[in-house]
Amino acid sequence: LGLGVVEQLGQRGYRVVLASRDPEAGERAAARARARGRDVIAAALDVASAESIRAFSEALGPDRIDAIVSNAGVALDCFDLSVVQRTLAVNYFGATAVVRALEDRLGVGSRVVMVSSAMGALDGFDRRVRARFEAPGDFAAIEGALSEFEEAVRLGRETAEGWPRSAYRVSKIALNAWTRLYAEQMRPRDVHVNAVCPGWVRTRMGGAGASRSVREGAEGVVWAAMLPRGGPTGGFFRDGARIAW
């Protein structure tokens, strides 16, 4: 999906930084894009590593960033405390930390796109879980709820407390709550912050049986990354249409 976003933004004339945990694979992908006339550079980034995020931010330099697409995500097999911690480290803490590391370079009209999932929609959760994420007072409240989730899993009480046995789903409801708060924080700077559900896409994560092509999944992300000044902020979208949180 990330490669699809890079390709479509490159087609539209943007200079794109392709971030990858594997620098060699990232450079090969960037080279293929450049061979098609795209302005793409590769950079190393592991969102689960604070040191990697710091190095990535420094490597980008001080120039203005027109758009951040926070696309890193994992959907791991099985369900236990280790899976929960690894999933949240990437899908919530890593995805948001990258944005925080780059936010000083966002200017008027810049866009932040958090790639999320309808699997994190509020109406799919037990009311007790929904209450933790529907209107959190601050970012600490979101992270406190995630700590409660981890503790419930450690004690084997997640089902009794209303949590789903899916670290991925919890990571996305938390990411959506973070997006709403961050959009309000950035509103005075006129930075557009939105979450996008790309749908079920035929990627390594989605599998060969998924209903949507990479091109189709990337289009909604690219739409949000190119919003004009005065466009929507603080919303959840699929294919450019607002959907319920």
Catalytic residues: 168
> Tokens at residue 35, please?
């061979």
* 88's tokens: 């949240």
CA 44 – CA 92 distance, rounded (Å)? 19
Structure tokens at 166: 């899916």
Cα–Cα distance between 28 and 41 in angstroms, integer?
10
Q: String of b and e for 68-96 (b: at least 16 CB within 10 Å)?
A: bbbbbbbbeeebeeebbeebbbbbbbbbb
Tokens of 148: 């409660």
Helix 2-11 crosses helix 214-225 at what angle (to 10 degrees)?
60
Written as one letter, the residue type at 34 is R
Q: Which stretches does DSSP call E strand in 5-70?
A: 15-20, 39-44, 65-70
Separation CA 20–CA 126 (nearest Å): 35
